[in-house]
A = this chain, B = another copy of it.
Amino acid sequence: MDAHPTRISLIQAAIRQFGRGGFEAASTRTIAAQAGTNISSIAYHFGGKDGLRIACADAVAERVAQVARPLPGLQDRPDPRHARLLLRRLVRRIVTFMIVSPGASDAVAFVLRELAEPDSPVLDRLYATLIEPRHRALCALWSAATGAPAEAEEVKLAVFSLVGQAVYFRVAAPIVQRRMGWRHYGRAEARAITRRMLANLDRMIGDGDG
């Protein structure tokens, strides 16, 4: 909420550290040092390490919400061709965000770690603010593109399949890059991944019933 510079630096450093080795592996000392401030600032601004964790979850959720802001409203139901176009645009945006934007690696790793932990203290928060609304929106678009009901099991699983691919390309980057012979994720690599994911999307949507 607050735009205090120390607060922001701490959150940024914490997402990085939490994303790399996990919450418990990151030490408040390292985070504070990387943020260019003192350890006690964490207690002052967030009440402790756990408070910092929550603040990180909120920060990521808010950042993603801003990137995904111009999503078409759920109320207007586009025709199949338009829905497919919007889905393609979203896939492009997701891949671009995840692959090329700096810092996305740590943010995605942080979120996935929290999502994987069954009793993470921020799981409810992330699900309600980040996962659920966006997954629901994608299901609605998928439904408009294919004609299947938006809340059908098949549709929900299809959307998970799609985002799962993107998440994997980001999180498993070290081995993907090694297998592909890539030195890093740059524009060319992002383009190749985008091409593949768009092809997957088109085929999964098919000509109707998927």
Contacts and interface: CB of A to CB of B under 8 A. Distances in A.
Interface in A113-172: 113, 115-118, 123, 126-127, 131-132, 135, 153-154, 156-158, 160-161, 163-165, 167-169, 171-172
Dominant secondary structure of chain A at its interface with chain B: helix
Q: How large is the interface on A (under 10, 10 to 19, 20 to 34, 35 or more residues)?
A: 35 or more
Contact of A22 (B25, B157, B204): B25
A59 interface: no
A102 to B, nearest CB: 15
Interface stretch (A60-68, A75-83, A193-201): A193-201
How many subunits of this chain does the assembly comprise? 2
A120 to B, nearest CB: 8
Nearest to A167: B168
Contacts of A2: none
Interface of A: 20-25, 109, 112-113, 115-118, 123, 126-127, 131-132, 135, 153-154, 156-158, 160-161, 163-165, 167-169, 171-176, 178-180, 192-193, 195-197, 199-200, 203-204, 206, 210
